[in-house]
A and B are shown apart, each in its own frame.
Chain A
Amino acid sequence: GAGVSQSPSNKVTEKGKDVELRCDPISGHTALYWYRQSLGQGLEFLIYFQGNSAPDKSGLPSDRFSAERTGGSVSTLTIQRTQQEDSAVYLCASSSRGYEQYFGPGTRLTVT
């Protein structure tokens, strides 16, 4: 079946612009996660959605970052007023039982 998909695969934006990153999870997966991976670094947790519960936003680095999940499926991560330090690969993952995660290929964001 289809895996987790993310779009765009690459995004180049100018400093100060807003960007939206999209994640389509595996159908039926109730949990959805966003992570950030900077060059040569590990995974930084950003936000977690579980079903209809309020999301866990504890990993968002600033109020410029926000995310929503519509209809328990597709999720959008929005970064406002992008800064150069936001340049990274943004990974989305979904899970059916909150255990093993299925990752998308990521969106590489470059802020110039």
Chain B
Amino acid sequence: DVKVTQSSRYLVKRTGEKVFLECVQDMDHENMFWYRQDPGLGLRLIYFSYDVKMKEKGDIPEGYSVSREKKERFSLILESASTNQTSMYLCASSSGDDRVILPDYEQYFGPGTRLTVT
């Protein structure tokens, strides 16, 4: 059974803290994604990666960075958390083909991390 796991379901951090959100997939997928989900705004892509050590900016990368040192793990980093980063964060993975994101391929999602920054 395919599985994408995220390190925490709920997280509370203070403004200015450095925050790490971890995502692990066990499907040997090439592509991994980080989204944030806010009411009335749907999902917005923060960053994605199509290979180890590779990363691409999505629609809203400001205030975030990512790390992909191993194929199965994709980390989202908030260098200095702010209250406007309070949100639900979703990780996803999909198959790929030679560093090409193939939109037709299904994305598999983790359960999400609800981050609150106070």
A pairs with B: no
Chain A residues with CB under 8 Å of chain B are none
Chain B residues with CB under 8 Å of chain A are none
